[in-house]
Amino acid sequence: MNIKIFINGFGCVGRALAKIIVEKRDVIEKKYGLRIEVVAIKDSRGAVFSSEGLDINDLLKLIEYPRSSIGLYEPYGRMDIGLDEIYDQCSPDIHVELTPSNYDGGEPGISNVLYALKRGANVVLANKAALVYKFREIMGIARKKGLVVKYKATVMGGTPFIDILLSLKTIHVSKIYGILNATTNYVLTYMHRHLVDLDEALGNAKSIGIAEKNPIYDIEGIDAAAKLVIMSNTLGIPLGINDVMRTSLRNVSLKDIVDALRKGEVIKYIAQIDFEEQLAEVAPRRIESNNMLAGIDGLMNAVVIEHEYGNIFFSGKGGGCRETASMVLEDILSASMRGV
Ligand SMILES: NC(=O)c1ccc[n+]([C@@H]2O[C@H](COP(=O)([O-])OP(=O)(O)OC[C@H]3O[C@@H](n4cnc5c(N)ncnc54)[C@H](OP(=O)(O)O)[C@@H]3O)[C@@H](O)[C@H]2O)c1
């Protein structure tokens, strides 16, 4: 069976996804009988599309194309093209939303996802903001239309954590807490190891491409708060981004780190939802060095789920373009196997 996918957003994750599809397409076909055809790719300025599917050579060339210019790619590229034309020409089975997560209202993700559902496409997202603002609406529309929306890559990007939450159908969860943002965990780890202040650690993270030029979503806890919102809604408990209390990582000084280390403790940027206390927060916390979360360093993420029968500890790669793309591909397969 051919599965036609449309990659909307062709930056770091989109390009990594295209590369993994090229690498794994034959294996996927052999193992599952599914042929993944990339029928369209769009960036902020243009798109390439072919109703037959772009071939491997085109995909490989597009991965190397400069940002914002895939619309210039001959003969499939077009600048300034909207979703209507892409859907009219290609009728994708799966819409993959990889545009930036924008926490000032959730666009363009929200409109793109709602459009895809309106046109009868299943949706896979790494974009978090669309779900943060419209989780229930998006899921409700998908359910009514018999479509699926998958979003494993939105929380602990490179690790299938959302699957664990979705598997807890009757088990009562009282609390979830952990380290949900790889950039800030890297920065804190660097501060502890090199005894430098936040700006110096952040400078290092920027210089090696771990932190964005303006890492405000990470440092102010917005990214981690967004993940709490997605986790809570996954469990069927509504939570809005403004319900999450946030304390900036800027509040952590080098002196705080040294004080903690002297007492056998470390500082971690902990995100937690306490369902009993109805409390959701992201804040720097001192934890003892024998706490399981204390050893989660660098780009790793980890979460503890406290439930009525005990605890689940889950740890893995928090992000990275290729890791995140690998989760997107897993979701594409599970959406496909549901009978696209
Ligand atoms: N990177 C990670 O490790 C990671 C982990 C988990 C989740 N995510 C999420 O995954 C998504 C993609 O991340 P990324 O790192 O690939 O971001 P990115 O490198 O900034 O790429 C974003 C892409 O979206 C395009 N875009 C922007 N506005 C658009 C629009 N209106 N229509 C179509 N395309 C548009 C950009 O176009 P131009 O190329 O023209 O600028 C670019 O191709 C984000 O939502 C992010 O939060 C990322």
Concerning whether 317 is annotated as a catalytic residue, the answer is no
Task: Map residue 122 onto helix, strand or coil.
Answer: strand
Q: Residue 53 carries which side chain, given as an amino acid letter?
A: G
- Rounded to whole angstroms, how far apart are CA atoms 338 and 317? 27
Q: Give the pLDDT confidence score for residue 311 in this predicted structure.
A: 96
340 or 114, higher pLDDT: 114
Is the same domain home to 134 and 248?
no
pLDDT(213) > 90:
no
Mean predicted lDDT score pLDDT of the chain? 96
At residue 250 the predicted structure's pLDDT band, cuts being 50, 70 and 90, is very high
User: To test ligand 1's pocket by mutation, which of 103, 324, 326, 328 has the most ligand atoms within 8 angstroms of CB?
Assistant: 324
Is the same domain home to 152 and 290?
no
pLDDT(163) > 90:
yes
At residue 231 the predicted structure's pLDDT band, cuts being 50, 70 and 90, is very high
Beta bridge partner(s), residue 285: 268
- Asked whether 109 lines ligand 1 (CB < 6 A), one says no
Is the same domain home to 283 and 311?
yes
Determine contact, residues 312/175, Cβ cutoff 8 Å: no
- Other beta carbons within 10 angstroms of residue 205's beta carbon come to 22
Is the same domain home to 212 and 258?
yes
Q: Give the pLDDT confidence score for residue 338 in this predicted structure.
A: 77
Neighbouring C-alpha atoms within 13 Å toward the C-beta of 110: 15
Mean pLDDT across 13-32: 97
Q: What would the pLDDT profile of 93-102 be if each residue is shown by its tens digit? A: 999 999 999 9
Is the same domain home to 255 and 325?
no
Determine contact, residues 109/102, Cβ cutoff 8 Å: yes
Q: Report which of 151, 316, 328 is spatially closest to residue 233, judged by C-alpha positions.
A: 151
pLDDT(282) > 50:
yes
- Active-site residue (options: 227, 255, 268, 317): 227
Mean pLDDT across 297-323: 95
Question: Does an H or E element contain 281, and which?
Answer: strand 279-288
- Beta-sheet pairing, 2-8 with 94-97: parallel
CA–centroid distance, 323 to ligand 1, in Å, is: 15
- Asked whether 318 lines ligand 1 (CB < 6 A), one says no
Q: Give the pLDDT confidence score for residue 327 in this predicted structure.
A: 97
340 or 123, higher pLDDT: 123
Mean pLDDT across 4-17: 98
Is the same domain home to 235 and 292?
yes
Is the same domain home to 279 and 313?
yes
What is the extent of the structural domain holding 175?
A: 163-317
Mean pLDDT across 158-171: 95
CATH number of domain containing 294: 3.30.360.10
Q: Give the pLDDT confidence score for residue 26 in this predicted structure.
A: 96
Is the same domain home to 106 and 171?
no
Tokens found for residue 112: 């793109």
- Beta-sheet pairing, 265-274 with 2-8: unpaired
Q: Give the pLDDT confidence score for residue 340 in this predicted structure.
A: 44
Is the same domain home to 153 and 188?
no
Which strand ranges, in their side-by-side order, compose the sheet holding 245-246? 245-246, 279-288, 265-274, 173-179, 300-307, 310-317
pLDDT(84) > 80:
yes
Is the same domain home to 275 and 332?
no
Q: Give the pLDDT confidence score for residue 319 in this predicted structure.
A: 84
Beta bridge partner(s), residue 315: 302
- Asked whether 45 lines ligand 1 (CB < 6 A), one says yes
pLDDT(152) > 90:
yes
Count of domains observed in the chain: 2
Is the same domain home to 133 and 224?
no
Mean pLDDT across 176-194: 98
User: To test ligand 1's pocket by mutation, which of 6, 8, 10, 328 has the most ligand atoms within 8 angstroms of CB?
Assistant: 10
pLDDT(144) > 50:
yes
CATH number of domain containing 50: 3.40.50.720
Is the same domain home to 248 and 231?
yes
pLDDT(70) > 60:
yes
